[in-house]
Amino acid sequence: MTIEAFIEKFSFAIEVEPSTLGADTDFKALDIWDSLNTLSIIAMADADFNVALSGQDVESSRTVGDLWQIVKAKSKSP
Amino acid sequence: MKALSGVAVRAVAAAVPTDVARTQDYEYLNPEERLRFQKATGIASRHIVRDGQCASDLCIAAAEQTFEYLDWSRESVGALVLITQTGDQPVPATAIVIQQKLGLPQNCVAFDVNLGCSSYPYGLAIVGSMMQSLGINRALLLIGDVSSRVCAKHDKSSWPLFGDAGSATALELDEHATPIQLDLMSDGSGKDAIIIPGGGLASKRPPPLQGTVQMEASADGTLRRPDNLILRGADIFSFAISKVPPSIRRTMEASGRTPNEIDFLVLHQANKMINDTIAKKTGFTPEKTLTTLAEYGNTSSASIPLTISAHAHCFDIERRVLVCGFGVGLSWGAAALIIPAHTVLPVTETDNVY
């Protein structure tokens, strides 16, 4: 799985155009960001990457790329 | 895998207060946020107690329904267990007060259990195994919470989710009953995911708060009293979608049934996103997954019996159900059981205070 694919899934989850997001997007600063989006992202990581993200994982990430690093790390661990 | 044999469900009843709080009227969200909240959680309204009505009152109303329906003599009830996290007072146990209010005999075992969303499978295990081991022929399992009394009204992360409800499940020893398969789990490392931090003795160490109770800002910036409930939705979501499906799968495996051979999946009514994800991951269609989120919201411990009761019309024949509760603790569990025909009573609405 690539970061491009992750960005696309991320954008679908929070219902924005994929072209509006990049690895360095500060996602919590987006106008549309709210706590329900956190749930959408956790659901996406579970469904598309089989990774259990915690609320803290999303909270501690600033950019989409930061979160991708966590998803990548978690998908490698058993 | 744990199994409980020789215990049958005789009646399931539930009660809610009459007052309704609608998501579309919630003043701390703007109209757009209300729509978004309703779409994601599936919660359009909740029933909320008026001042003075307690979880015990709602449970007593449900219990009275079961007595009326079953024609059981009160003297014949040997145990009453109340599962709640919003009891009438810290001491004594509310179940003992209910024993007197329901006119149950003094040789009736009565005590409270402190569990929330996982109450139904735990309650069946606790009461059923006690009936078996002590030879108690008939028992009442009462489960209810008035979460509206412990959430701050301006707390957008908790107030618009919770509804109030009480329930009663009448159980009887029956050597012909199909065994109930149980999967019961705990993880205290998640205690902060849903917590009322104040009011207990740990919160009074060092010495107690003096003077009036002050609101304090939590990590999420919301002002709460120390005895208000804090819910960390993202952590609960993450826990629920990762830990709950395996519990359901283990229970199905133990009972030797696939989703096709189970009539209904009855999940704790957390929110639509969580419940849809769990149902999908475990292979249950929306038609088989009973829900009451739209009308009653998240009714905490009472959500499973309330949801069964709200679908009384589906239980005019014997049904094989899988129930699964999960949340505060963290505590979660599932049970595969038979609900015999004509044992489910419709939801009653009441403002009675006993």
pTM over 0.90: yes
Continuous H helices in B16-163: 31-41, 55-70, 94-101, 119-134
When scoring B187, B237, B274, B330 by the number of chain A Cβ atoms within 10 A, the one with the most, hence best to mutate, is B237
Chain A residues at the B interface, defined by Cβ less than 8 Å, are: 34-36, 38-40, 42-43, 46-47, 52-56, 58-59
Residue B242 and residue A59: Cβ atoms within 8 Å?
no
Put simply, the answer to whether A55 touches B232 (Cβ < 8 Å) is: yes
Q: What does the mean pLDDT of chain A come to?
A: 90
Q: Smallest CA–CA separation between B131 and chain A, in Å?
A: 39
* CATH of region A3-76: 1.10.1200.10
**What is the CB neighbour count within 10 angstroms for residue B33?**
16
Cβ-nearest to B241 among A36, A46, A56: A46
pLDDT of amino acid B226: 85
ipTM above 0.90, yes or no: no
* CA atoms of A4 and B96, how far apart (whole Å): 61
Averaged pLDDT for residues A30-54: 91
The verdict on B39 touching A (C-beta cutoff 8 Å) is no
Domain segments of chain A as ranges: 3-76
CATH superfamily, domain at B1-203+217-347: Thiolase/Chalcone synthase (3.40.47.10)
Name every chain B residue with its beta carbon within 8 A of the beta carbon of A49: none
Inter-chain touch B235–A56, beta carbons under 8 Å? yes
For residue A56, what is the nearest residue in chain B, using CA coordinates?
A: B235
Interacting residues of B45 by C-beta distance below 8 A, sequence separation 6+: B20, B21, B22, B23, B294, B295, B296, B297
For tokens 């699964």, name the residue: B324
Contact B249, B226 (CB under 8 A): no
Residue-range domain boundaries for chain B:
1-203+217-347
- C-beta contacts of A71-74 below 8 A and 24+ residues apart: A71/A6, A71/A45, A72/A1
Enumerate the β-bridge partners of residue B81. B111, B141
Q: pLDDT class for A77, splitting at 50, 70, 90?
A: low
Instruction: Please give the average pLDDT of every successive group of 10 residues along chain B, which has 354 residues.
Output: 93 98 95 93 97 96 98 97 96 97 98 98 98 97 96 91 97 97 96 87 69 72 85 89 96 96 98 94 96 97 98 98 97 98 98 96
Which residues of chain B make contact with A42, given a CB cutoff of 8 A?
234, 237-238, 241
Dihedral (C-alpha) B217, B214, B204, B234: value to the nearest 10 degrees? -30
